[in-house]
Amino acid sequence: MTHWELATTETKPEVFGPGEILDDGRLDTGEYGVAISAETLLYGTLPDVRAYLEQALAALPKPRDGQPLIVVDRDRQWAWIGTDAQLYDDDGDPDGDPWMPTEESVHELVDQVIANPGAAGWTLGDGVKSLFTEDDEEGGLMVGVELTSGLRIGLGDPIRDEAFTQPWNPLPPQADDHHLAMDALDQVADRINNSY
């Protein structure tokens, strides 16, 4: 798939009518075209082009006007981390080393939130169907939401280990696994809400 970034709202679409000469020839009678990029032209009959563009506009999400994708009750999240969240070291041993935020451990933690968002203090915003996580092909954790329309909205960039450790470098004495988990989930929630 060819990618073309719309750099500015001042960019005006180029529309071509029947008879226009283009690289590959001339648009036939009844054919209209809309330039998608310098190399890509969407063309067809006027009703077909209009219908396609209207469907594309209808599929785009509406402005949220500041409404968050998820709302976090931090008191409930704090209580959930202390009672129900499974904070294990990499070996899965609850009596092992203290929990540290990594791509893998935060992935596991967010999957626990996904299993029961309400218990973890997470409320899905209006029009949000569910949360999702996945591993990025080049490493890192991808997190996001699926809207009721089926459109998935993920982070622009996956979260990597350093995103979780950087704010705590070096770790202060009070930064136990409870605080680290709280900070990691706050980062994830903030990144999701800023991704729209």
pLDDT given at position 4: 56
Average pLDDT in the chain: 83
Q: What is the mean pLDDT of residues 158-177?
A: 69
Q: Quick check: is 5 in a domain?
A: no
38: containing domain? 15-59
Q: How many domains does the chain have?
A: 2
Q: Coil, strand, or helix at residue 184? A: helix
- For residues 93 and 130, membership in a common domain is answered with yes
Lowest mean pLDDT among 36-40, 83-87, 101-105: 36-40
DSSP three-state, residue 83: helix
pTM of the model: 0.75
Residue 149 lies in a domain: yes
The verdict on residue 2 lying in a domain is no
35 and 103 belong to one structural domain? no
